């Protein structure tokens, strides 16, 4: 190792020092004592199901949950989500849904709490409505989630927690795309969405949070719901994987802006560990080389109401008339909007081993202590 008595380090020595400092910062907490999660259906472990009562969320019906839990749990998949794989890797209990608490005790949240609600947006419903975009699923936007968290705060220790911030923001764009808003207008929403995410992170840093994992958006142009809605006879709109190029370009644009936003927060708060989780790059590989990952079907949903991508807006997975595949593990898409447990498992691996994070860091886990 270089001698640190010399005040002048070579570029290479500085680099080594930087790397060591970086890794010691990231692994300062050898294992997380809890996971605190904000987001939407990609991370919802049961909130929407509770909030929607007496109305029934499809995720409360079979075949949702069939693979791992053998029953619907409110998760929008056949089994576990990325957040579940994280919890299991850290030796923590599966992160309980905040709205599942019925006795007002915070004790149950010492090892984690999940505010993510399927259908949630980053921006408040009122703000979106001004732009002609309507969220008819839930009003528990990111700001509301952070507000609920603050009420719970006294009982939680933030320094040892992994904050999973997202994925959130995807629905702001989903609602806009499916409600016929023009792409230019949707691109205009990106700074607003980033502003909300950034404010949430800054607020949590102020409250003592140190480590954040911030996932970006998935390749929406490969999702059956988008492939169905924006189907076209213009073959040039599709890439070699059969995904819609212009929609994936939107995801890339948004993710690029998100990464820049995170850079800015890092500059303001060099002691915070802010890790971008590249769900996009992790998932896009499935479409490019399906057989390498053991997928048979990438663009057709396992569970849905038929049509070329087994997706039909009026016949969703779990509703009368929908069909489900025999082997969800050979599919990327579970219900046309959400991924299968197998896909989420592969994404979580790519995030935890650092191959799909920015910066490239291995997220310390209980197992590696």
Ligand X SMILES: *[C@@H]1O[C@H](CO)[C@@H](O)[C@H](O)[C@H]1NC(C)=O
Residues that bind ligand X (CB under 6 A): 102-103, 105, 107-108, 139, 144, 296, 305-307, 312, 314-315, 321, 330
Q: Considering the complex, what minimum distance in angstroms separates the CB of residue 29 from ligand X? A: 24
What six digits make up the tokens of 183?
A: 């792409």
Give backbone dihedrals phi and psi of 34, rounded to 5 degrees, phi first.
-160, 165
335 as an active site residue: the answer is: yes
CB-based contacts of 152, cutoff 8 Å, min separation 6: 98, 106, 109, 113
Q: Considering the complex, what minimum distance in angstroms separates the CB of residue 144 from ligand X? A: 6
Q: How far is the CA of 322 from the CAs of 30, 119, 222, 301, 344, in angstroms?
A: 46, 21, 21, 11, 23
Candidate list 34, 37, 40, 41, residue with the active-site label: 41
Helix residue spans in the chain (DSSP H)? 11-26, 47-52, 82-89, 125-130, 142-152, 170-178, 183-206, 224-229, 245-268, 279-288, 341-352
CB-based contacts of 340, cutoff 8 Å, min separation 6: 67, 77, 78, 79, 302, 328, 329, 331, 332, 333, 334
- b/e map 34-43, b = 16+ CB within 10 Å: bbbbbbbbbb
Q: Considering the complex, what minimum distance in angstroms separates the CB of residue 8 from ligand X? A: 57
Residue of this chain nearest to ligand X (CB atom)? 108
How far is Cα 349 from Cα 293, in angstroms, rounded to an integer?
Answer: 13
How far is Cα 333 from Cα 336, in angstroms, rounded to an integer?
Answer: 6
Q: Considering the complex, what minimum distance in angstroms separates the CB of residue 325 from ligand X? A: 8
Hey, is 34 helix, strand or coil?
Answer: strand
* 12 or 107: CB nearest ligand X: 107
* 217 or 297: CB nearest ligand X: 297
Q: Considering the complex, what minimum distance in angstroms separates the CB of residue 298 from ligand X? A: 11
What are residue 163's DSSP bridge partners?
36, 212
Candidate list 44, 78, 172, 335, residue with the active-site label: 335
* 21 or 319: CB nearest ligand X: 319
For residue 73, the Cα-to-chain-centroid distance in whole angstroms is: 18
Task: Please give the radius of gyration of the chain, using alpha carbons only, rounded to the nearest integer.
Answer: 21
41 as an active site residue: the answer is: yes
Nearest Cα residue to 217 out of 77, 347, 78? 347
* 74 or 290: CB nearest ligand X: 290
* 159 or 294: CB nearest ligand X: 294
Q: Considering the complex, what minimum distance in angstroms separates the CB of residue 331 from ligand X? A: 10
Q: Which residues are catalytic?
A: 41, 335, 338
């Amino acid at each position: 190792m270089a001698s640190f008595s010399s005040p002048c380090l070579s570029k290479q020595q500085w680099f080594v020092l930087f790397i060591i400092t970086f890794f010691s910062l990231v692994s300062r907490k050898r294992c997380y004592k809890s996971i605190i999660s904000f987001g939407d259906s990609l991370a919802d472990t049961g909130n929407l199901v509770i909030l929607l009562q007496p109305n029934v969320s499809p995720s409360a019906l079979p075949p949702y949950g069939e693979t791992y839990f053998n029953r619907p749990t409110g998760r929008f998949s056949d089994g576990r989500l990325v957040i579940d794989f994280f919890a299991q890797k850290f030796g923590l209990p599966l992160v309980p849904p905040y709205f599942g608490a019925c006795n007002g005790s915070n004790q149950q949240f010492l090892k984690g709490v999940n505010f993510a609600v399927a259908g949630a947006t980053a921006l408040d419903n009122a703000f979106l409505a001004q732009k002609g975009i309507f969220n008819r699923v839930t009003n528990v936007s990111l700001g509301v989630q952070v507000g609920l968290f603050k009420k719970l705060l006294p009982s939680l220790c933030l320094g040892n927690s992994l904050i999973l911030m997202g994925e959130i923001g995807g629905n702001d764009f989903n609602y806009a795309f499916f409600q016929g808003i023009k792409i230019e207008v949707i691109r205009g929403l990106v700074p607003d969405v980033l502003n909300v995410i950034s404010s949430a992170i800054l607020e949590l840093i102020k409250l003592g949070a140190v480590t954040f994992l911030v996932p970006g958006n998935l390749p929406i142009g490969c999702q059956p719901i988008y492939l169905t809605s924006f189907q076209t006879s213009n073959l040039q709109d599709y890439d070699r994987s059969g995904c819609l190029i212009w929609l994936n370009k939107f995801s890339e644009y948004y993710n690029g802006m998100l990464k820049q936003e995170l850079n800015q927060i890092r500059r303001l708060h060099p002691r915070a560990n802010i890790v971008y989780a590249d769900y996009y790059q992790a998932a896009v590989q499935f479409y490019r080389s399906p057989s390498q990952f053991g997928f048979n079907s990438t663009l057709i949903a396992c569970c849905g109401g038929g049509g070329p991508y087994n997706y039909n807006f009026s016949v969703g997975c779990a509703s009368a008339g929908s069909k489900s595949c025999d082997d969800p593990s050979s599919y990327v898409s579970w219900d046309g909007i959400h991924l299968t447990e197998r896909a989420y498992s592969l994404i979580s691996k790519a995030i935890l081993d650092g191959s799909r994070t920015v910066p490239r860091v291995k997220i310390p886990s209980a197992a590696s202590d």
